[in-house]
Amino acid sequence: MTDFERRSIISGIGQSVVGRRLGRTGLDLTIEAALEAVADAGLTLADIDGIATYPGGGSPAGSDFSGPGTPEVQDALRLEVRWHSGGIEGAAQLAAVVNAVLAVGAGLADHVLVYRTVTEATGQGGGGRQGIGLGGGGKPTVGGSMQWSIPFRAYSAANWLALNAQRHFHEFGTTREQLGMIAVNARRNAALNPRAIYRDPMSLDDYLAARMITTPFGLYDCDAPVDGSTAVIVSRADHAAGLDHPAVGVEAVGTALRGRPSWDQWDDLTTMAARDAGAHLWTRTDLKPSDVDVAELYDGFSFLAMVWLEALGFCGRGEGGPFVEGGHRIALDGELPLNTNGGQLSGGRLHGFGFIHEACLQLRGEAGERQVADAEVAAVANGGGPIAGAMLLTRAR
C-alpha cells in the first residue's frame, strides 16, 4: 500500500504582493494568491473541490494574525467543495497542508486550495510590536494555558523561546555569533529575492549591534510582520501530467508530538516539539537527511531554525551552533542551503507558508538568482515551542 503522502502533489503555488502595511484586506490578498495558484495548477475555480487554512477564522489572536476563514474565502470565490478544514491545533501551520494531503489521499477531494494569510503589519499600525494578552481596556485577565506565562510579564513568544535558547546556550555553549549567522544568511538570500522585505546587506557586526529584545535575542533574531497571502494547490498525483511545470511530490510528513505540549513543561527545552515531528518525518521515507538539497526551516526567531536543523538530523543534538558558524554550510552554495528566500527574518513573516512556496520554487527550478542547482529534495518545517510540523517535498520524477 502506498503511503498516503504519495497520492498527492503540490500542483500550483501563488503568492500575493508581500509588504509592510499594504492597507489591503486579508480576503483581498487571499483571493490574489488563490487565483494565481489555481491558474498555476492548470485549473479553474470550478475544479477546486477542497479548501483548507491555518489557523482559520475566529482565532483569539485576531484576524490580522489568522486571515480570513475558509467560509469567507469559499464564498468570495463561489467554490463548491467536498471537503473543508481550518484550525489552529495540529502540526503547526503545515497542518493545513497535511490535512489537504490526507483529504486527497482519502479520496475526499481532488484539488484543495490551501492558504495562509496575514495582515500583521497593517494590524500593528504605526506602533511597536504588541505583546500577547495586553489588548482591551481596564484590567486585562488571562486564563487557560496562558495564565502560566503572561502574568509573569512574558508577553511574547520572544520571551518564551528565549528561555529555550538560553538553555541551549547553557548546555552546549552556543553563542550569539553562531545564532547570528542564521539571520545574516537570511539577509544574504533576501538580497536575491525581489519579494523580500529587508534586502540591504547586514553583517554579523550589524546583527550584534542591534538592540536587545530578550536575551539572547536581539532585534534581528525576530522576524518581521508583513501583509501577504500564500496559496498552494494540493492535487491528486495523477494531475502531474496536466502541468506545464514539474510537479512537487509530497514524500513524507512529520506530525508527531510526544513531549508535554507546553512552552515551559516540555522535557528538554533545547529541543521543543520539532524533535518529535522531525524524527517522525524520517520514519515515513527511505530518504535520509543527506539527500536533502535545500532546507526551508521556520525562523520566526533565528533560534527556531537552529532547533530544526538539529531536529531533522542535519546535525546532532546541540550541534546547531557549530553547524551554522561562519555561515558556509547554510549558504546558497553550501552543503545545506537554508531559507533561500530570506526566511521570515528578512523575507517577512508569512507564517510558515512562505517556506512551502519557496521549496516549490526551488524544486521547480524557478527560484531565479537564488536557485540552488539541481534541487530535487526539500525539507520544510514550521513551528516553534510545543508546535511543530515537517514535510519532505521532491521534484516529482
Partner 1 sequence: MTELPFRVLPAVDDTNEFFWTAGREGQLRFLRCQGCGYFLHPPSPRCPSCGSRDVAPEPVSGRATVFSCTVNHQPWTGETEPWVIAIVELAEQEGLRLTTNIVGCPPEDVAIGQEVEVVFEQHDDVWFPVFRPVGSPT
Strands 227-236 and 8-15: antiparallel
Length of the chain as a residue count = 397
Residue 308 CB burial class (10 angstroms; 0-12, 13-18, ≥19): buried
Residue among 209, 213, 112 at smallest CA distance from 155: 213
Residue 300 CB, shortest distance to partner 1, in Å, is: 15
Question: How many residues belong to the site for partner 1 (CB under 8 A)?
Answer: 43
Which residue is associated with the grid cell 511545470? 245
| Contact present, 116 and 246 (Cβ < 8 Å) | no
56 or 321: CB nearest partner 1 = 321
Q: Which of 75, 82, 141, 201 binds partner 1 (CB under 8 A)?
A: 141
Check residue 131 for interaction with partner 1 (CB under 8 A): yes
Strand order in the sheet with 50-53: 83-86, 50-53, 111-119, 227-236, 8-15, 248-254, 389-395, 377-382, 294-297
**328 in Cβ contact with 334 (< 8 Å):** yes
Strand pairing report for 389-395 and 377-382: antiparallel
Helices (H), 210-365: 274-282, 302-311, 320-324, 343-347, 353-364
* 162 touching partner 1, by CB under 8 A: yes
State the Cα–Cα distance between residues 157 and 279, nearest whole angstrom.
Answer: 24
Give the distance between the most distant pair of CA atoms in the chain: 60
Nearer to partner 1, 269 or 297 (CB): 269
What is the rounded CA–CA span in Å between residue 78 and residue 56?
18
Give me the least distance between CB of 72 and partner 1, in Å please.
30
Which position among 143, 286, 373, 397 is part of the footprint of partner 1 (CB under 8 A)? 143
Q: Which stretch binds partner 1 (CB under 8 A): 69-77, 106-114, 134-142, 277-285?
A: 134-142
Which lies closer to partner 1 via its Cβ, residue 59 or residue 145? 145
Q: Which C-beta is closer to partner 1: that of 175 or that of 265?
A: 265
- The one among 61, 152, 366, 369 contacting partner 1 by CB under 8 A: 152
Q: In whole angstroms, what is the distance from residue 175 CA to residue 323 CA?
A: 12
Could you say which of 206, 264, 319, 325 contacts partner 1 (CB under 8 A)?
264
> At closest approach, how far in Å is the CB of 156 from partner 1?
7
Q: Does 139 bind partner 1 (CB under 8 A)?
A: yes
Q: CA of 46: how far to CAs of 14, 76, 243, 358, 392, in Å?
A: 17, 13, 17, 27, 29
Angle between helices 302-311 and 274-282 (to 10 degrees): 40
Closest separation in Å from C-beta 293 to partner 1: 35
Rounded Cα distance between 342 and 188, Å, is: 7
* Min separation Cβ 60 and partner 1, Å: 13
Tell me which stretch binds partner 1 (CB under 8 A): 65-73, 110-118, 161-169, 368-376.
Answer: 161-169
- Based on the shown chain and the rule CB under 8 A, indicate whether residue 316 belongs to the binding site for partner 1: no
Residue 172, φ and ψ in degrees, nearest 5: -120, 0
* Cβ at position 349, least distance to partner 1 in Å: 16
Task: Select from 158, 186, 256, 393 the one that contacts partner 1 (CB under 8 A).
Answer: 158
23 near partner 1, rule: CB under 8 A = no
Does 183 bind partner 1 (CB under 8 A)? Our answer is no
The correct pick among 267, 335, 366, 369 for binding partner 1 (CB under 8 A) is: 267
- DSSP track, 282-303: HTT-S--GGG-SEEEE--SBHH
Does residue number 175 form part of the binding site for partner 1 (CB under 8 A)?
no
Q: Which of residues 201-260 bind partner 1 (CB under 8 A)?
A: 211-216
Q: Is residue 126 close enough to count as binding partner 1 by CB under 8 A?
A: no
**Smallest distance from partner 1 to CB 353, Å:** 26
User: Where does this chain touch partner 1 (CB under 8 A) — which range of 55-63, 135-143, 356-364, 368-376?
Assistant: 135-143
Least distance in Å: CB of 92 to partner 1? 22
| 151 binding partner 1? (CB under 8 A) | yes
4 lies in the binding site for partner 1 (CB under 8 A): no
Q: Which residues bind partner 1 (CB under 8 A)?
A: 128-131, 133-134, 139-143, 145, 147-156, 158-159, 162-167, 170, 211-216, 262-265, 267, 269
